[in-house]
């Protein structure tokens, strides 16, 4: 059969491989959080990490980074604030009052503890692949994601 006439299946595409890998990685990480008795959820941890890297970020920008709607992001932030891991404050952005947030000392501490607990487990996932190859894959995925960000409509 001529190659040009062969049927192309979604399950043979890079899109499928990326989606399946991402879902499996999330499932593994959730299982690790449970196994290691980590006191916050994966989403809370991701939000906390992003806030630590983007001090003074507003909820809308955080929601865009997390690919979550603002309401869901707000619920995550409420939990983190109640636990004392973040602080919210009012600032001015484009001549408007905006609620921004920053990480607290307790938030920094829990983030380091989580990172230390997860490190060895997650390194095992990639141990069969040389570090240079991991870096290449990471760079390709970043380029792929940046291209997607240009074409995907985000209504957050």
pLDDT at 1 over 70: no
Report the number of distinct structural domains present in the chain: 1
In a domain, 26, yes or no: yes
In a domain, 54, yes or no: yes
What is the pLDDT averaged over residues 23-52? 96
Q: Please, which residues bridge with residue 91 across strands?
A: 98
pTM of the model: 0.85
pLDDT tens column, 44-65: 999 999 999 999 999 999 999 9
User: What gap in Å lies between CA 10 and CA 17, rounded to an integer?
Assistant: 9
In a domain, 1, yes or no: no
pLDDT bracket for residue 151 (50, 70, 90): very high
Q: Please, which residues bridge with residue 99 across strands?
A: 90
CA angle, residues 87, 51, 133, in degrees to nearest 5: 160
CATH code of the domain in which 118 resides:
1.10.10.10
In a domain, 2, yes or no: no
pLDDT bracket for residue 154 (50, 70, 90): confident
In the prediction, which pLDDT does 120 show?
A: 87
DSSP at 1: -
User: What gap in Å lies between CA 99 and CA 97, rounded to an integer?
Assistant: 7
- Show the beta-strand stretches assigned E in 32-155: 57-58, 86-93, 96-103
In the prediction, which pLDDT does 125 show?
A: 87
């Amino acid at each position: 059969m001529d190659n040009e006439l062969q049927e192309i299946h979604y399950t043979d595409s890079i899109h499928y491989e990326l989606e399946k890998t991402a879902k499996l990685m999330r499932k593994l990480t959730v299982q690790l959080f449970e196994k290691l008795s980590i006191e916050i959820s994966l989403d809370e941890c991701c939000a906390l990490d992003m806030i630590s890297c983007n001090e003074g970020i507003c909820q809308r920008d955080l929601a865009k980074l997390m690919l979550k709607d603002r309401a869901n992001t707000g619920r995550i932030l409420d939990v983190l604030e109640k636990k004392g891991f973040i602080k919210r404050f009012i600032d001015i952005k484009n001549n408007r009052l905006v609620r921004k947030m920053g990480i607290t000392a307790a938030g920094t501490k829990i983030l380091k503890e989580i990172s230390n607990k997860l490190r060895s487990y997650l390194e095992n996932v990639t141990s069969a692949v040389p570090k240079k190859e991991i870096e290449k894959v990471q760079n390709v995925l970043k380029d792929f994601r940046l291209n997607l960000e240009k074409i995907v409509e985000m209504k957050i």
